[in-house]
Structure 1
Amino acid sequence: MTTASATATSAAVATSDAKENDAPKSTAIPERDYGPEAEIARLQAQADAFTRKTELEKRAVRDLEKEVETMRSRVETQRKKMGGLDAAQRANNQIQKKIKMLETKLDKSLCRFNEAKSHNKTLRLTIDNLRKERAVFAEVYRKLEKDLDAKKADMGVIVEESDRAYEARDRAVAEMAKLKMQADKEQASFENEWRELGKLIEHDRKMKEFMRNRRKVNEDDGKLGTLSLEEEKKLKKKIIKGNWGNIKTKARQSTVQTKVHSYTEAFEKIKAAAGIDDLDALVSNFLSAEDENFRLFNYVNTLNQEIDALEEQISNVKGEIEKYRGDGVGGDGARKKQLKELSDKLLATERKADAYETKHKDAMKTVLQLKDGIWKIYNKIGCNTPANRELLGEEGVNTENMMQYLGIVEQRTNEILQMYAAAQATAKGEASDENRAVDDKKDKETRAMGYAALLSQGPDKPATGGTTLKIQLPTTRETGDEDSDESDVEDDRPLNRDELRAKTLSRLAKRERAAEKEKTHARAPSGGIAGGGGKGGGGVGARRPPAGSRPGSKLGSRPQ
Structure 2
Amino acid sequence: MNPREQKQMNDTLATLQQRGDIFTRNMLNSKLRVAQMQMALKEADALIVANRDKTKKKAIGLLNLHVLTPNDAYQRADGLNPTKLADINQKKLVANLEARLNKALIRHSETVNENNGIKHKVDKLRRKRLNDNFNRLSLEKKLRRLQELMDKVMETAAEASDQREKAAEAKNALLSVNIDEAAVFNEEYNDLGAYIDNQNELLEESIAKAAKAVKFDDSEEDYIDTRGALTVENEKEIKEKLLELDELKKKHIEDKKAAEAKINMYNQDFADLRAVSMLDDYDKIVAVFCKNEEETFSMFNFIQTVNQETDHILEQHARLEEEIMSYADDQKAKEQERKDIVESYDRQVKEAKEGRERAIGLSSDEQKTVEKIAKKVQTLFYKIQCDQLLESGNKAGGKGTGAAISSESRLAVLSGQGVTENNILHFMGLIEERAVQIIGEYVRAESQGGGSKAGSRTGSRAGGGRRPSISHGPKDPSEIRNMPTALEIDSESEEEDDDKPKSIEYMRKTMQEKTLNASAGRGQGSRSKKNVRGRK
TM-score by length of 1: 0.27
Pair member with larger Rg:
2
Structure 2 length-normalised TM: 0.28
